[in-house]
Amino acid sequence: MTEFGVIAAEGAQNVDRLKEQLDLLPEVARMPVSLLFDQLAETNKRIERLTDDIEETYEQSETSQRLATIPGVGMLTATIIAATTPDVNFDCARDYAAWLGLTPKPHSTGGKQRVGRISKMGNRYIRRLLYLGAMAQIMLRT
């Protein structure tokens, strides 16, 4: 729309402003741009339905609700952890961290213990969500 002189600030919150100015476009450009607005509206509806489904699953899962009490872990992260973690009894928290790929890789030789970077062998999506939650907590405290 900028190519036709219709300018608005960037961001999802400004889409409605752009939609109001649709009649400023030439007739040839209105149809494709209108289709894009419709596609965006449909995508937003799908996201809302999925969010409602996740909220419903969260409310039915005691495990998810307990996980959400951890600082930095919200409804989405708690529900995903509860849904993707198998029913395995981990002996300690380190075993679970190793399953996620959050423990350092050992590089030991000749009795000398050396650890490297985290292994990153587990669920990448959970690792990313936990990282984002931890960073949010760090930013709140600074």
Query: What per-residue confidence (pLDDT) applies to 79?
Result: 94
pTM over 0.85: no
Phi and psi dihedrals of 106, rounded to 5? -80, 140
pLDDT at site 74: 92
Helix axes 75-84, 124-141, angle to 10 degrees: 150
Q: What are phi and psi of 105, to 5 degrees?
A: -75, 130
pLDDT in tens, the chain (142 residues): 777 787 777 887 878 888 888 888 888 888 888 898 899 999 999 999 999 999 999 999 999 999 999 999 999 999 998 988 877 788 888 888 888 888 777 777 777 777 767 767 778 888 889 889 989 999 988 7
The pLDDT value recorded for residue 73 is 92
Q: Which residues of 34-60 are buried (b: 16+ CB within 10 A; e: fewer)?
A: eeeeeeeeeeeeeeeeeeeebeeebee
In whole angstroms, give the CA distance from residue 4 to residue 27: 11
